[in-house]
Amino acid sequence: MLFTTLTLPNGSTLPNRLAKAAMEESMADAGQLPGSAIHRLYQRWAEGGIGLLITGNVMVDSRALTGPATVALEADTPLAPFKAWAQAARSHGAQVWMQISHPGRQVMANMGGLAWAPSAISLDLGKHSKLFAQPEAMNAAQIAEVIRRFADTAHAAEQAGFSGVQIHAAHGYLLSQFLSPLTNRRDDKWGGSLENRARLLLEVVRAVRARVSAGFSVAVKLNSADFQRGGFSEDDARQVVQMLNELPVDLIELSGGSYESPAMQGRTADGRTLAREAYFLEFAQALAGVARMPVMTTGGITRPAVAEQVLASGVAVVGIATALAVAPNLPRQWRAGQAPQATAAAVNWKDKTLASIATMALARRRLRALGSGGAHGGSLNALYTLVTDQVRLALLTRRYRKWLSTRGPALS
């Protein structure tokens, strides 16, 4: 089943059921543009036989980034680097979707950009909370601007040669913040009931669909749950999927968690235990039963037997992330009947926030190694990687702030 085709609601086809799920590369060149390292990285994955490549976060507003080396694509951004990216990713027949996102409150305080959110509620990461900016509750004009920016970015992605976009409404980013009652305390039409909390996501989907062609894929990444007490629940997710059923959405990817509860790394804040692989399969299987569009799930999948189990459960696409940073040609090896070791060692530190940051640093290091044309980096020391990554990010933050200062009022 892994290597059968899948026809999406818009009529386009995935050549197989394996997708490279989004991993934020943090490899942008100056100006927040994709460069040769990202192009080489996606060329390697394309050669590896994957059916769908979903990029890491591409931000719809260069003033609001998750990190200083995050790619941004706006209405006036030069398209040539993005055309080269799409060409490399599509070179072996895969579809390539740009994951488009706004971080909302999940912006580092030292970045000097914007931290818009549904409500002015800061991240709670204990002693590490001050690393993140104090968020500003959005007004109606800012909400309208964000909707327009998602549509502008999707249009630009199609012009650059991408075959689709994935609208990121999971992992505690802005659209996910609107969905969660923990972070959305508004009393206007954008808050309160789930219908109101889901309004921004639905409006973004409508705006994006209106700006792209019928054959261009539009997908949504949604939390199956926040895995925080009182947050976005499995029942909320089911209702939002039913709302999305009424819109021309080509695929829903189900994940989970946020910076406060990194379930996407296998850890939760509410004490629930996730499966060792396919963390969210139980939730995805239930939601696939109500979804009219194909469903994809991601979360720690490293073995072909588990991938087959995902498909057998009624989920249409298997998302693979970290395993493809360890073994970029994994699909080709599975097709040949091989099952290589593709597991990255877990970072089990007492400080869960630092462990999460180190886990992301290790992933970024592997991706940079692949993008440089080398191997994936082998067995990496977590502490050394964390320290060197922080130094690298400090230098890149200086570069970003200098660039941002040259942008002027045109972005306002």
Q: What are the residue ranges spanned by the domains of the chain? A: 6-411
The Cβ of residue 76 has, within 10 Å, a number of other Cβ atoms equal to: 10
Rounded to whole angstroms, how far apart are CA atoms 347 and 350? 9
Amino acid at 79: L
| pLDDT tens digits, one per residue of 359-386 | 888 888 889 989 988 765 456 888 988 8
**125 has pLDDT over 80:** no
pLDDT-based confidence at 171, cuts 50/70/90? confident
φ and ψ at 325, to 5 degrees? -80, -25
With CA atoms as reference, report the closest residue to 227 among 263, 198, 255.
263
The residue-averaged pLDDT of 189-212 equals: 98
The pLDDT of residue 173 is: 93
CB of 7 closer than 8 Å to CB of 21: no
**pLDDT confidence of 283, banded at 50, 70, 90?**
confident
pTM: 0.92
pLDDT at 341: 75
Tell me the HSE value of 66 on the side-chain side, using a 13 A CA sphere. 26
What is the rounded distance in angstroms from the CA atom of residue 34 to the CA atom of residue 93? 21
By three-state DSSP, how is residue 243 classified?
A: helix
Asked if 255 and 223 count as a contact pair (C-beta separation under 8 A), the reply is yes
The pLDDT of residue 270 is: 44
**Is the confidence at residue 25, as pLDDT, over 90?**
yes
Residue 225 Cα to chain centre, angstroms: 15
Which span out of 130-134, 178-182, 247-251, 385-389 was modeled with the highest average pLDDT? 247-251
Angle, CA 39 vertex, CA 35 and CA 334 arms, to 5°: 155
Average pLDDT value for residue range 279-285: 81
pLDDT tens, 227-243? Answer: 666 678 888 999 999 99
Of 22-31, 92-101, 216-225, 264-273, give the lowest mean pLDDT range: 264-273
The residues pairing with 13 across neighbouring beta strands, listed in sequence order, are 7
Which class is 6-411 in CATH? alpha beta
